[in-house]
Amino acid sequence: MAQSLNQNLSCTICAQMYTEPVTLDCGHNFCKGCVLEWWDTGGTGAEVSCPQCGQCFPRRELMPNQLLVTLVASLRSLTLQEDGAGLGGQRCSLHGQQARFFCSKDLRLVCPSCLPQGQDRSSTTLIAVEEAYTVCKHKLENSVGFLERKLEEFCEAQVSQGIQITKTTDTKSILQRTDLHNEPILQPPELSLGEYKGPLQYAVWKQMLSVISPVPAAVTFDPDTANPGLVLSKDHTMVKRRSRFKQLPESAKRFSFHAAVLGGVGFAWGRHYWELDVDGMAGWIVGVASEMASRHDDVPLTPANGFWTVRLWNGKVHAAEGARDSAGSLCCSEGRPDRLGIYLDYDEGQLSFYSASDMSHLYTFFHRFQEKLYPFALPLPSLETAEAEILKLFHLCL
């Protein structure tokens, strides 16, 4: 009865129910001991990866999954009840005789010797074992169904929220990073839900980071993809133009024509959200790029070439419309956002851009994605202030 739930609560490494379940940044769950042993026997240097999807991580980070702990404990209890609910061979634990009745008062099986003197078998607290089995089985099935629904809701929440569980009590630091004491948040009705599905939960999270988790996963730039004309910060969260090119090792991953850089993690499923601080920049192009998009040719950064981007040009935000005209663009905002929010729903084929300070919608691409997508950034500073203009990945929770 609980077999299907048992399969969903099993570690893919040991094929057993989770023991000390932990969650990786990619959202997959494993026994703590299993994934540590996997890394110790199969890891290469400091780089570790997910045993299920293969996504690589710069360091070992395991987050205990309390919900799975609760679900596993409940399933073990249900399994014990189910295993003991059979009719054949049931005997009284006190007298060793065949148990013919179930006491609804004491919630245990009883034999004739258990009955006190003067109490007959017609007592309202005694029911036949067969009848008790039917009642308990029905209750057990309802409990399993309830747990299965809870597990499904939990798995959906994992995918939609990025799975980066962070614990902190530094409320002052959080408020300073999110600027919530200065920036108003628009109510959800401001978004046109008839045109696209937006990340409404992020606007709420930004007000409640001290008490809500998980939060969107932190994104960093991949230095191996950065054009030689760019320089990254040590933590790979900021990028700016160099005064002159730097000699770097040749790599098929590195942009050689466009002065661009990709994020360190690609997305091939699920929903993801990240923000970029573009305050004070004269121009920029940001969005996502497919894994197979050209990094060495002079191609327009349009969907036709594997780039879904918006850009700030002459003080206005434009979206590349390669589907109709490889060189065309559409003005989608007369304003200049200080921070840009990007929401990717890979499975639904949606990429949306927002002015992150108030979550106002800028533009949405619709496309049935087939390849892994990576965050894409290309700073377009003015010639006079090139080295002073910095494009930053803004982490909602550090």
Which residues, other chains included, contact 185 with Cβ-Cβ below 8 Å and sequence gap of 6+?
Answer: 203, 204, 206, 207, 358, 359
List Cα–Cα distances, 39 to 50, 90, 287, in angstroms: 9, 46, 33
User: What's residue 149's pLDDT?
Assistant: 77
Does 236 lie in the same domain as 370? yes
Instruction: With H, G, I as helix, E, B as strand and everything else as coil, classify residue 204.
Output: helix
User: Rounded distance, CA 307 to CA 272, Å?
Assistant: 17
Using one digit for the tens of pLDDT, what is the confidence trace for 89-135? 566 666 666 767 777 676 677 777 776 655 555 555 777 777 777 77
Q: Are residues 155 and 249 located together in one domain of the fold?
A: no
Backbone dihedral region for residue 54 (phi beyond 0: left; psi -120 to 50: alpha; all else: beta): left
More confident residue, 211 or 146: 146
CATH number (domain holding residue 47) = 3.30.40.10
Domain-embedded: residue 245: yes
Same domain, 349 and 236: yes
Assigned domain for 228 exists: yes
302 neighbors 321 (Cβ within 8 angstroms): yes
pTM: 0.49
- CATH code where residue 236 lies: 2.60.120.920
386 and 247 in a common domain? yes
Q: 10 Å Cβ neighbour count for 83?
A: 8
* pLDDT tens sequence across 38-90: 888 765 455 688 888 888 888 888 888 888 887 877 777 665 555 444 444 56
Give, in order, the Cα–Cα distances in Å from 168 to each of 62, 131, 172.
16, 52, 11
Does one domain contain both 351 and 274?
A: yes
Residue 209 lies in a domain: no
Tell whether 151 and 273 lie within a shared domain: no
Sign of CA dihedral 310, 316, 321, 326: negative
Of 238, 217, 221, 239, give the one whose Cα is nearest residue 230: 239
pLDDT tens for residues 282-302? 899 999 999 999 999 999 999
- Sheet of 391-394, strands arranged across: 230-232, 238-241, 391-394, 271-277, 339-345, 350-355, 360-366
- Domain coverage including residue 268: 215-394
- pLDDT at residue 13 tops 50: yes
* Alpha-carbon 217 to chain mean position: 7
The mean predicted confidence, pLDDT, of the chain is 76
Please tell me whether residues 151 and 236 are part of one structural domain.
no
Total domain count, the chain: 2
Residue 4's Cβ-count burial label (10 Å; 0-12, 13-18, 19+) is: exposed
pLDDT at 217: 59
pLDDT confidence of residue 6: 62
> Do 151 and 248 have their domain in common?
no
Gyration radius (Cα) of the chain, Å: 28
Question: What is the per-residue DSSP string for 240-291?
Answer: EE-SS-------TTS-SSS--EEBSS-BSSSEEEEEEE-TT-S-EEEEEEET
* 91: number of Cβ within 10 Å: 12
